[in-house]
Amino acid sequence: MLKLEHVSTTIGTHHVIHDVSLEIAAGSCVALLGGNGAGKSTLFRTIAGLVAPTTGTITFKGRTISHLPADRIVRRGLALCPEGRQLFPGLTVHKNLMLGAHTVKDRKKVADALEQVYALFPVLGERARQLAGTFSGGEQQMLAMGRALMSRPQLLLLDEPSIGLAPLVVEGIADAIQSLNRMGMTIFLSEQNARIALMITRYGYVLENGALVIEGPSSTLMHNSVVRKAYLGT
Ligand SMILES: Nc1ncnc2c1ncn2[C@@H]1O[C@H](COP(=O)(O)OP(=O)(O)OP(=O)(O)O)[C@@H](O)[C@H]1O
Ligand SMILES: [Mg+2]
């Protein structure tokens, strides 16, 4: 579904992503592991069209997207749930969700998407008129994911959904990611929390200093000595 071939990204004069090639199959749930500053967010922003790659090709559903602006990529069915949630705290939950639907013109499709988001995260429906800024960290993460889902994506990029959340709340988010994947959504998940990421994915990539250094089935990565030392603290 998604293919990166020799993708590099430069921000200013800083070479952040170096020659990244990877593939995400339709229906899969794949992890992108890496520490602070490894380049996870920059790689996701490059895929989503928020930063242009300096070299390489990104193909989504068989067509090149590396030259497209972000909104056209969203229209093709690829959504990014950004790091830090990036909500509008002074707007209601409902308004924040609607912002994610601006590329969808058909009102019936918007209503369907909203219904699906409320089914996945009931708290968003129950408190739709409340301001986003009054929500807890975990609820804000649900809202950020809900907003990304409003564009009805086939591929969802999730940038560090667990960051800053208590373990029990992380479990709830992990359950939601797994149910989305079971419903057929393809998921590419970046995490510093390797434990949770490897638990809910089938395959993973490890990014260090902007380059992929290890890849393999999540069950194998979990027992890889480098991964265990650097990301699992064992
Ligand atoms: N807009 C920018 N201007 C300058 N440098 C940037 C910019 N965005 C990213 N970088 C640099 O690129 C590198 C990778 O950053 P990035 O945010 O992609 O890493 P990350 O893996 O997402 O880290 P974290 O886990 O902390 O979110 C860092 O050295 C960062 O300082
Ligand atoms: Mg990041």
Q: What is the pLDDT of residues 105-132, one digit of tens each?
A: 899 999 999 999 999 999 999 999 999 9
Q: What is the pLDDT of residue 234?
A: 67
Closest ligand 1 atom to residue 210 Cα is: 14
H helix runs in the chain, sequence order: 40-47, 70-76, 93-99, 107-120, 122-126, 137-149, 167-182, 194-200, 218-221, 225-231
How much distance in Å is there from the Cα of 82 to the middle of ligand 2?
9
If you take atom 3 of ligand 1, which residue's CA is the nearest one? 11
If you take atom 25 of ligand 1, which residue's CA is the nearest one? 36
Ligand 1: residues within 6 Å at CB?
11-12, 14, 16, 34, 36-42, 83, 192
The number of the ligand nearest the C-alpha atom of 207 reads 1
If you take atom 30 of ligand 1, which residue's CA is the nearest one? 37
Q: What is the pLDDT of residue 229?
A: 82
Q: What is the pLDDT of residue 225?
A: 86
For tokens 């019936």, the residue is 108
Q: What is the pLDDT of residue 83?
A: 94
How much distance in Å is there from the Cα of 112 to the middle of ligand 2?
31
**Rounded Cα gap, residues 137 and 4, in angstroms:** 32
Q: What is the pLDDT of residue 208?
A: 94
Query: Which residue segments constitute the domains of the chain, with CATH numbers given?
Result: 2-77+153-231 (3.40.50.300), 86-151 (no CATH)
If you take atom 2 of ligand 1, which residue's CA is the nearest one? 11
**Rounded Cα gap, residues 34 and 192, in angstroms:** 6
pLDDT digits (tens, 9 = 90+) for 79-91: 999 998 999 999 9
Question: In which residue ranges of the chain is pLDDT below 70?
Answer: 234
Rounded to the nearest 5°, which phi and psi values hold at 57?
-130, 140
Q: What is the pLDDT of residue 180?
A: 95
Tell me the sheet residues that pair with 5.
57
